[in-house]
A = this chain, B = another copy of it.
Amino acid sequence: MYDLFFQKFREKVPLSVEEEQQIKSYLTPKKLRKRQYLLQEGDICKTLAFVEKGALREYSVDNGSEHIIQFAVEGWTISDLFSFLTGEPAIYNIDALEDSELILITRTAHEELLQTQPKYETYNRVLITSAYVALQRRLTASISLSIEERYTNFTTMYPDIAQRVPQHMIASYLGLTPETLSRARKKMTTRK
């Protein structure tokens, strides 16, 4: 159940068996059915969620239309970090796109681990740093690339997600309507 979590952890920071056991004692497994919410806008985000299996999305809703800001598949962590850290109400929703298995870390667990387990802090720092870099690249893409480029960028970066997720959600992730993405794809195939 915790295999992937510790595999990913060790890729970033090596761990002894004892350390692994100590950290494991802070983790909670959770299963989520397709379409179930992990978090709803307005609630306080109580946990970080690591995806052992399945796929989730994080999105905001603004007068009726959804804007996906992140996908998470196996090996990824998802949360409304701002809400998690500050205790303010979440501005995002998170729900499952497939039946999923998660590993949850509550805020108190997170804080105790930061205090008591230096390797957890290091892991956390490395994790958030690469998330930041990825997000910065994504923002650059969204500001400077054409729709076609953004789409190809996405499919080559995350071929896995591109296959598992309906196209209109990718459109939403890219900040487009489904129609516009459909037409962009058509243009791409007729020319290529």
Contacts and interface: CB of A to CB of B under 8 A. Distances in A.
Contact of A121 (B85, B122, B132, B138): B122
A86 B30 CA distance: 35
A78 to B, nearest CB: 12
Contacts of A118: 118
Interface of A: 60, 62, 65, 67, 69, 81-82, 85, 91-92, 118, 121-122, 124-125, 128-129, 131-133, 135-140, 142-145, 175
A111 B25 CA distance: 30
A128 B132 contact: yes
Nearest to A139: B139
A132 B175 contact: no
B144 A85 contact: no
Q: How many copies does the complex hold?
A: 2
Given A118-B118, A122-B121, A139 B138 contact: yes
Given A69-B143, A118-B118, A175-B142, A136 B81 contact: yes
21 contacts: A60-B140, A62-B144, A62-B145, A65-B144, A67-B140, A67-B143, A69-B136, A69-B143, A81-B129, A81-B132, A81-B136, A82-B133, A85-B129, A85-B133, A121-B121, A124-B125, A125-B128, A131-B132, A132-B132, A135-B139, A139-B139
Contacts of A67: 140, 143-144
A142 B146 CA distance: 15
